[in-house]
A and B are shown apart, each in its own frame.
Chain A
């Protein structure tokens, strides 16, 4: 039983320099492309001003509680998603952790592509290179979208920025949690805020901006009776806040043991939502201007969200306004900053997972595994067939992958492992904002019910209607196929051996309701 000095040890875990470093980095992770291009359109289409009601309810009843759950697991069990979940819930937990890692693998591969497009368009802004037909420019001249679903025709204008984005991401990650990730966030996030506020202020002075704001904020109360609107609100909060796919768990695992968890978490959650509201104001003020220029009403416009909003509608609008070059540069610059800090966090989940399990050094993980992912991303998206793949994988990874991960995680942690008391005790002992039975109820009952409903509704919808009108065989291979690959890979990764024993760990602090790590497979140990 003696602990000998020859017990093998991994190098000390990385740590943020303090609370501020963690908060800014977590905000950097949460604030991403979706805050800018998803929220405004979703709000507009789901009741406008009335959407705020389900949105705020979703934030308080699911977003913040599950964020706290992620923090509690990552911080208490001091590991990446597979490691922390393994310590908490054995091999089942580890499998869930790897599934979250695999979601991040798929997302990272296409996220870099969008970042690349945004960086290209940042450069294009200076002479409004997209010309008079922004839509045609994007799909035709820039992406050179092919009719066939898979090609190896590389498009240099996309390839070069894509390689560049991967180089930047890998260099930042290779420099470490503090010198790379934290430092990038401490520079990028203030810059993002200043730039974006400037953009919004500019937009508010455009003619027609007020009509845009009216369009967004006028409530349609009948929307509140539509369950789809509530699903949309919960979905938006969920994806926007980056919960339940390993990011917040990994980031909180880098905090020192004696840390306030919930109060910073509230700041992160409200900062994320604040940015979305700001984006909503900016985007719709701009759309209002566009409607005014075109002589139509806002509700007659198209391309109000997503890739279309960013790369077709906004460029067209920038061409119409005085100072459009600066406007475009601010907009695409913001997309790059928001996207890069999010991409870094997605990659960190993957790297931390393999570093913890296989005892790779950071440099090995970043340049080895990271390099492989970069190559896959470049081959898939540096060519003329990228857009369809991106759209498909994004839909399955998010709406099936992340939601399923959240349902399985909450059920496993709160019902199978019954860790609610232990985790709420952990949070409350260390934090200034206490959580108790209400929190446990929200994460163990309300969360799984709402998420389960969302998952079933989504699967039902996808089975009945081919997504995006794409070929069903393609969707089966690329969409469902992605999920199948995630599951298979999770199983294989769980079955492979750990370099160091993950169960030799004692959580701190001792709290009521806790169970020793390795509890679920005590039959091997004889510790009882």
Chain B
């Protein structure tokens, strides 16, 4: 491949695939916030069953 094409292929891989790997790692390190506000448990229903 020409050098310039290699550069841009690499940019694509680093930014996009890197973004995927990075966001997946970020998520797996902390899957949820440390503390949710009170409430919001599943027994909470409204007339539409939500």
Residues on A facing B (Cβ under 8 Å): 7-13, 19, 48-50, 52, 56, 78-79, 83, 210, 213-214, 216-219, 256-258, 260, 263-264, 266-267, 270-271, 273-274, 277, 280-281, 356, 429-433, 500-502, 504-506, 508-510
Q: Judging by beta carbons under 8 Å apart, are B8 and A218 in contact?
A: yes
Q: Judging by beta carbons under 8 Å apart, are A509 and B40 in contact?
A: yes
User: Chain B contacts of A56 at CB under 8 A?
Assistant: 15-16
Residue of A nearest to B34 (CB): A432
User: Chain A contacts of B42 at CB under 8 A?
Assistant: 256-257
Nearest CB of A to B28, in Å: 9
Nearest CB of B to A240, in Å: 12
Q: Judging by beta carbons under 8 Å apart, are A214 and B1 in contact?
A: yes
Nearest CB of B to A260, in Å: 5
Cα distance, A103 to B5, chains bound together (Å): 39
Q: Which of A266, A432, A501 is B30 in contact with, Cβ under 8 Å?
A: A432
Cα distance, A25 to B50, chains bound together (Å): 21
Residue of A nearest to B13 (CB): A277
Q: A56-B15, A508-B39 are in contact. Are A257 and B8 (CB under 8 A)?
A: no
Q: Judging by beta carbons under 8 Å apart, are B47 and A49 in contact?
A: no
Cα distance, A239 to B23, chains bound together (Å): 22
Q: Judging by beta carbons under 8 Å apart, are B27 and A432 in contact?
A: yes
Cα distance, A412 to B49, chains bound together (Å): 27
Q: Judging by beta carbons under 8 Å apart, are A213 and B46 in contact?
A: no
Residue of A nearest to B7 (CB): A49
Q: A217-B9, A218-B4, A274-B16 are in contact. Are A10 and B49 (CB under 8 A)?
A: yes
Cα distance, A260 to B23, chains bound together (Å): 13
Cα distance, A461 to B36, chains bound together (Å): 49
Q: Judging by beta carbons under 8 Å apart, are A270 and B16 in contact?
A: yes
Q: Judging by beta carbons under 8 Å apart, are B20 and A213 in contact?
A: no
Nearest CB of A to B18, in Å: 9
Q: Which of A271, A281, A506 is B46 in contact with, Cβ under 8 Å?
A: A506
User: Chain A contacts of B24 at CB under 8 A?
Assistant: 267
Cα distance, A55 to B4, chains bound together (Å): 18
Cα distance, A217 to B2, chains bound together (Å): 9
Nearest CB of A to B45, in Å: 7
Cα distance, A264 to B4, chains bound together (Å): 34
Residue of B nearest to A276 (CB): B16
Q: Given A430-B36, A502-B48, list of 4 further CB < 8 A pairs? A: A12-B45, A13-B50, A263-B23, A263-B26
Q: Which of B17, B30, B44 is A257 in contact with, Cβ under 8 Å?
A: B44
Q: Judging by beta carbons under 8 Å apart, are A10 and B47 in contact?
A: yes
User: Chain A contacts of B27 at CB under 8 A?
Assistant: 19, 260, 263-264, 266-267, 432
Nearest CB of A to B35, in Å: 10
Q: Judging by beta carbons under 8 Å apart, are B47 and A8 in contact?
A: yes
Cα distance, A356 to B50, chains bound together (Å): 10
Q: Which of B19, B31, B37 is A270 in contact with, Cβ under 8 Å?
A: B19
User: Chain B contacts of A258 at CB under 8 A?
Assistant: 32, 36, 40-41
Q: Judging by beta carbons under 8 Å apart, are B31 and A260 in contact?
A: yes
Cα distance, A266 to B27, chains bound together (Å): 9
Nearest CB of A to B33, in Å: 6
Residue of B nearest to A501 (CB): B47
Nearest CB of A to B50, in Å: 4
Q: Judging by beta carbons under 8 Å apart, are A213 and B9 in contact?
A: yes
8 A-B residue pairings within 8 Å (CB atoms)? A49-B5, A214-B2, A217-B6, A270-B17, A500-B47, A501-B47, A504-B47, A508-B37
Most chain A C-beta atoms within 10 Å of own C-beta, residue among B6, B8, B48: B48
Q: Which of A7, A79, A274 is B47 in contact with, Cβ under 8 Å?
A: A7
Q: A258-B32, A258-B36 are in contact. Are A432 and B8 (CB under 8 A)?
A: no
Q: Which of A12, A277, A281 is B49 in contact with, Cβ under 8 Å?
A: A12
Cα distance, A375 to B42, chains bound together (Å): 39
Q: Which of B1, B4, B12, B45 is A9 in contact with, Cβ under 8 Å?
A: B45
Q: A50-B8, A267-B27 are in contact. Are A257 and B47 (CB under 8 A)?
A: no
Nearest CB of B to A378, in Å: 33
Q: Judging by beta carbons under 8 Å apart, are B1 and A429 in contact?
A: no
Q: A258-B32, A260-B32, A431-B33 are in contact. Are A504 and B23 (CB under 8 A)?
A: no
List of 6 A-B pairs having minimum Cβ-Cβ separation, nearest first: A49-B8, A266-B23, A270-B20, A10-B49, A257-B40, A217-B5
Residue of B nearest to A53 (CB): B11
Q: Judging by beta carbons under 8 Å apart, are A217 and B31 in contact?
A: no
Q: Judging by beta carbons under 8 Å apart, are B1 and A213 in contact?
A: yes
User: Chain A contacts of B26 at CB under 8 A?
Assistant: 263, 266, 432-433
Q: Judging by beta carbons under 8 Å apart, are B50 and A429 in contact?
A: no
Residue of A nearest to B32 (CB): A260
Q: Judging by beta carbons under 8 Å apart, are B17 and A277 in contact?
A: yes
User: Chain B contacts of A216 at CB under 8 A?
Assistant: 5
Most chain A C-beta atoms within 10 Å of own C-beta, residue among B4, B17, B24, B50: B50
User: Chain B contacts of A273 at CB under 8 A?
Assistant: 16, 19-20
Most chain A C-beta atoms within 10 Å of own C-beta, residue among B6, B19, B42: B19
Cα distance, A271 to B16, chains bound together (Å): 8
Q: Judging by beta carbons under 8 Å apart, are B48 and A83 in contact?
A: yes
User: Chain B contacts of A274 at CB under 8 A?
Assistant: 16-17, 19-20
User: Chain B contacts of A267 at CB under 8 A?
Assistant: 20, 23-24, 27
Q: Judging by beta carbons under 8 Å apart, are A219 and B4 in contact?
A: yes
User: Chain A contacts of B17 at CB under 8 A?
Assistant: 270, 274, 277
